[in-house]
Structure 1
């Protein structure tokens, strides 16, 4: 069973990594990620219902450590989807207030679940038999209302709370990153003279990363005497874009099964076509 679960989780992470690389629009990214995460969690449910746990310890481990990894992804992407859908139109001040309010909501969850948060984060196990065994709930232990509507064959009283903690960690990072990007953009706008026409990168970020590595490999900047990091930061500055973990993105590009230089190949084909069309006109 562990092998099948690990394979399912690995496949889910691979799909989500691919979406993260190929889709830049946060709303579309979340829609696709939610669909994939729900499908993966349903496969997990079917797998568990066909299998008997060998011991209470194995069941506790599943609901405390494994299932929350699947559920947390649904929570994370659904929350980000709602945050981005409700994001107001406005300047940096409006957006900062909006994202800071979302951070306050996360803190409210932390405050409401402080006892369990401390229990889980400190690695305690003395209440695991109540928290993470099916049918062993204790009404005195601050249960979420959703638990009474949940499938009791695939839920314990607190596995959802663990998933919520894991998701909130990622949501906090997302919100803090958005605030940093807003601050950097605001500072850039104040410190530099802008041209009359604003040019933004509208292709996927993965394409810009592919181009970044190609130009660095060719040594086209400063006669090749410039670091990859400096070029990446320059691209992020002029295009007002966050390339994120571009080194990891390059590793993903390297492992593509087909056409590892997809964007550069497309550039080549498009330019040749334009040249050919120009010849026809002449």
Structure 2
């Protein structure tokens, strides 16, 4: 997706800072919390930059809420969800595998719940963009679970769904990788036990 250079620079800096956090020699939960803080800080910078200009034409505003803002804020949601997921990991490899298999269903539940909007968004249609992505048409009250950062003065009615779609996709990829790793671990554990029984 095209992003105006002023947003692109900030976005590139955010991704670089997140990568630095991911490489820190810390437990995964602490790295996740650091990445979350980085993404929140960049959202505040992005919001400040957006709010510093008083007048946007409709196309600029739609572009911001449809493509720019969600590319920043999806990292906030992703790291919140990931941190929550990491806090509840059970003990054994088999239990962890079952846990992550359950977590893998989260993405599909989100897609099922918001299927009409996702179809619209991914179709590249634009006929509803003004309703979905202009602030003046936002008459929705954000549900508590959607208020993961402060944006009451800088939101459209549907940018949180784009954010959620991107965040859920990232989390789904993370979960699938965990499942692959654990399947290998469980397989190796079973092989080890079979060898031990033979000996």
TM-score range, shorter chain: 0.7 to 0.9
Aligned ranges 1:58-97 → 2 under 5 Å: 58-89=60-91, 91-97=92-98
Q: Please, which runs of 5 or more residues in structure 2 have no aligned partner?
A: 194-199
Q: What TM-score results when the alignment is normalised by the length of structure 2?
A: 0.86
Name the count of aligned residue pairs.
Answer: 189
**Unaligned segments of structure 1, at least 5 residues:** 194-282
Question: Cα offset for 1:8?
Answer: 1.1
Give 1:33's aligned residue.
Answer: 35
- Cα distance between partner residues in 2 of 1:169 and 1:129: 25
- In the other structure, the counterpart of 1:99 is 100
In structure 1, C-alpha distance between the alignment counterparts of 2:11 and 2:150, rounded to whole Å: 22
Offset of 1:24 from its aligned partner? 5.5
Distance in 1 of aligned mates of 2:172 and 2:55: 34
Q: How does 1:36-185 map to 2 (within 5 A)?
A: 36-89=38-91, 91-137=92-138, 144-146=142-144, 151-185=151-185
Alpha-carbon deviation of 1:120?
0.9
Cα offset, 1:105, TM superposition? 2.6
- Checking the alignment, whether the CA contact within 8 Å between 1:49 and 1:153 is kept in structure 2 is no
- Gap change, CA 1:144 and 1:109, over 3 Å in 2: farther
Greater Rg, structure 1 or structure 2? Answer: 1
Shift of 1:93: 2.2
Post-superposition CA distance 1:199-254 (Å, at most 9, x none) = xxxxxxxxxxxxxxxxxxxxxxxxxxxxxxxxxxxxxxxxxxxxxxxxxxxxxxxx
Distance 1:3 1:104 in 2: 36
Shift in CA distance, 158/97, structure 1 to aligned 2, threshold 3 Å: same
**How far apart, in 1, do the equivalents of 2:105 and 2:192 lie?**
33
**RMSD, aligned CA:** 2.3
Cα distance in 2, alignment partners of residues 102 and 166 from structure 1? 16
Partner residue, 1:266: none
After superposition, what is the alpha-carbon deviation per residue over 1:64-101, rounded to whole angstroms, capped at 9, x for unaligned? 00100111000001110000011122x22211221122
CA distance in 2, matches of 1:151, 1:74: 12
SS at match of 1:60: helix
Higher relative contact order (CA 8 A, sep 6+): 2
- 1:22 to 1:150, Cα distance in 2 relative to 1, 3 A: closer
Is the Cα contact below 8 Å between 1:68 and 1:160 reproduced in 2? yes
Distance 1:42 1:138 in 2: 23
Once residues 41 and 82 of structure 1 are traced to their aligned partners in structure 2, the CA distance between those partners, rounded to angstroms, is 20
Q: Which residue number in structure 2 is paired with residue 252 of structure 1?
A: none
Deviation by residue 1:150-178 (Cα, 9 ceiling, x = unmatched): 64431000001101000111100111110
